[in-house]
Structure 1
Amino acid sequence: MAEFFTPGETIRIVYPATAVRPRIHPDTPTIIEDSSEWLRRHLPGIADDPKVYNPVFAGRLPDWFLMSFPAGSAAATARMCSFCIMMFSWDDQVTLGDLFDGHTTPGPEHPVGMAADDLLNGFADEMPAPVFRRFKQALKDWADHLPAELDQRERADRLTQEEYRAVRRWTIGMGPYYVFLEHSLGLDLTEQFAADPDFKRAVDLSTDHVWLVNDLFSFRKEAVLGDPFSIVMMLNRNEGVPLQEAVNLTLRQVEEVNGQLEELLGRLSARYAGGPASAAVDRLGDGIRLVNAGNVHWSYSAPRYVGYGQGWNGLRDAEVTLAADRTVFRPWMAPDHGPRTTGVLRFSQGDRDVLQRVSRSSQVAWSR
């Protein structure tokens, strides 16, 4: 932990750039109840184990999903919320090295494998066949990249930015969720995704937004646990960037990704305007915007990242104190203790030089 921050150290964080304000699914209470019941029925080992169950619900993990995907049908959302709980638990086990009989994916006789089959059978019944095929392929893509992440964790202190970004986009695990987003809105844009690479680019940009924000808010917890897998910690340790500058650079990258995503979604909307897919393309774009907005809001408020026994106080421009067990937000004051400023961070030329140096590879991908 001392390698990255000293308990009591303060940094400044401003609200990461998003295009819309966050929402939460209107059926949140019943969806959480239904997902909890599914968990007890299909994964009693998780439901009965406080070491797993408490972080899931006390950490408000279902809220991440219900803030990020607030507009879908209640039935489809309840099934996917159960999937989300399973994925979070599964991902944590893989991250901690508690693998399934030496593998990163469970076999068909493993309880998680059987639970996954129950959910997949339900999705197969309700999703159009082309959408379900894409959903399964996205799951496979995620699982196929997990060994690469485990390898990267073993050599995190020698990892390059290019290597990290190439794997992080996959192992954040968002691929299946974007296919679900499409299905939950009653859409099937399989043909458009196959014919127009800008749809995949939009998903990739939104995914980058998610993992950058995740890395920004999770690094305190992960540093305490000795898990260095975060862009903030890599900038700090591998590139020698001071912690506040690493935070600033991560925020700037979120801002750039958000701007590129908005530009791309606008082009897609104009390209399909007046055609048979026009309304569907616009609905998908709105759903993608809500994913990023929900992820940011949840990251501020989730005990999983900010610690238990407290709540986010709504500050969008905050002095953040990094304690061993929590992240504390207070109003940010200028160095002369004058009035708190508003708006985005202002970056020095030194900040910009470092940003250009460490994110050159990502800028190529984002500009395509």
Structure 2
Amino acid sequence: MQTQAMPCPDAAVGHFPFVAPRLTLKPAWHPQHEAIERRLAQDDWPYILRHFGDERMARKFIAQRIPAYGLLCYPHALPDRIYTIGRMMNVTTVMDDAFTPLARPGMEKESAALRLHFEEALHGVQPPAAFPSAQLLHDALAPMRPQLAARPAVWRRLAASIAEQIAMQAESTAIDVDRLSLAAYLALRRIEGFGHWITMLTEYAIDVDMTSAFERDPALWEVRDATIDSVILVNDLFSFRKEAAKQERFNAVWVLSRELGLDATQALQHLSGLCERNEERLLAASARVLAGPLGGRPDVQAYVTELAHMSSGNAAFHEFSARYRVGDG
């Protein structure tokens, strides 16, 4: 997302100390993770190469191991769905990369065209070859349509989350982070950061339908939102130094700095603590669901368990992916 560029008050970006949060949830890999990563590095290479138009940049993207995110966050995905889950991680990342340079004045026509072709892909229409990022979405969704035929509510909610994401990406003109409270920032990021989409993929991955469960127990929403917030907060913590080096301001560190009167180093430390407290919030909300009226349902148990893996898997991915290192693109 393109955000308002403002000078970072701390010039020595590389000297910001990193305070790793002390998280208790343990990550787990999907049993097929090595094979799926190898396959997707080959299968998605043509899309990625056409997207970047440069072999060096495409290889740099592959080296970030984006599909590994899904192989950590959905470790219990069904065997016939984990390939699509891994591919969807490439889809979301390439989509973000495609829209980001267009989210500035003067690029409205290009952004509208990209939006149109992503929307076509969502509705089953193959986009033109000039839009490989949208083609990748189309081809990733192709096997999901028949798989979700028996769960129409899941498909509707998944499609709605993707449509919401496309609109958010296309309409993200400059956002002034200095106008956002932390609560408002997190509410925006739950959409902008693909949170609704990736948690909908949890239902697809393990073949459950939480539509009625969300209606019956509001605590389930808290589990979902705490999971998304864990993704946001950990991402901001790990990506801050890279973003600061690029003069990017759309990060919780700057929100905390302004709201609490902290310098960037202090805000980083505070954000690390927020990551820890948010994990506690997730665990407490999960316990309430499992002790509540739906706690005896195997599908609810599986869903809550998998969301915990998303939290731990997200943190594990950020520890090794080159995507969050200063100097990596």
User: Normalising to structure 1: TM-score of the pair?
Assistant: 0.74
Q: Residue 116 in 1 paired to residue 145 in 2?
A: no
Residue 279 (structure 2) aligns with: 258
Q: How does 1:57-72 map to 2 (within 5 A)?
A: 57-72=62-77
Q: How does 1:39-58 map to 2 (within 5 A)?
A: 39-40=44-45, 45-46=50-51, 49-50=54-55, 52-58=57-63
Q: Residue 13 in 1 paired to residue 13 in 2?
A: no
Residue 353 (structure 1) aligns with: none
Higher strand share: 1
Aligned length: 304
CA distance in 2, matches of 1:251, 1:274: 31
Residue 3 (structure 2) aligns with: none
Check 1:264–1:218 CA distance in 2 against 1; reply closer, same or farther (3 A cut): same
SS of equivalent to 2:17:
strand
Aligned-residue identity in percent: 22
**Contact 2:96 2:169 survives alignment (8 Å):** no
TM-superposed CA distance for 1:151, in Å, is: 2.9
Q: What is the RMSD computed on CA atoms of the aligned residues?
A: 2.6
**Contact 1:17 1:255 survives alignment (8 Å):** yes
Instruction: Find 1:286's aligned residue among 302, 305, 308.
Output: 305
CA distance in 2, matches of 1:4, 1:96: 25
Check 1:196–1:55 CA distance in 2 against 1; reply closer, same or farther (3 A cut): farther
Check 1:14–1:191 CA distance in 2 against 1; reply closer, same or farther (3 A cut): same
Residue 213 (structure 1) aligns with: 234
Structure 1 gaps of 5+ residues are 308-324, 327-368
CA distance in 1, matches of 2:220, 2:169: 24
Look at both structures and tell me which one has the larger radius of gyration over its CA atoms: 1
Q: Which amino acid aligns with 1:23?
A: A
Check 1:16–1:138 CA distance in 2 against 1; reply closer, same or farther (3 A cut): farther
CA distance in 2, matches of 1:81, 1:8: 32
CA distance in 2, matches of 1:60, 1:42: 15
CA distance in 2, matches of 1:194, 1:42: 39
SS of equivalent to 1:135:
helix
Check 1:271–1:157 CA distance in 2 against 1; reply closer, same or farther (3 A cut): closer
Instruction: Find 2:253's aligned residue among 208, 224, 232.
Output: 232
Residue 138 (structure 1) aligns with: 161
Q: Which amino acid aligns with 2:201?
A: F
**Contact 2:41 2:62 survives alignment (8 Å):** no
Q: Residue 166 in 1 paired to residue 187 in 2?
A: yes
SS of equivalent to 1:11:
coil
SS of equivalent to 2:19:
strand
CA distance in 2, matches of 1:91, 1:139: 12
CA distance in 1, matches of 2:291, 2:302: 13
Moved more, 254-263 or 7-16: 7-16
CA distance in 2, matches of 1:202, 1:102: 34
**Contact 2:48 2:58 survives alignment (8 Å):** no
Structure 2 gaps of 5+ residues are 1-6, 121-126
CA distance in 1, matches of 2:312, 2:141: 28
Residue 90 (structure 1) aligns with: 95
User: Normalising to structure 2: TM-score of the pair?
Assistant: 0.82
CA distance in 1, matches of 2:238, 2:295: 41
Residue 102 (structure 1) aligns with: 111
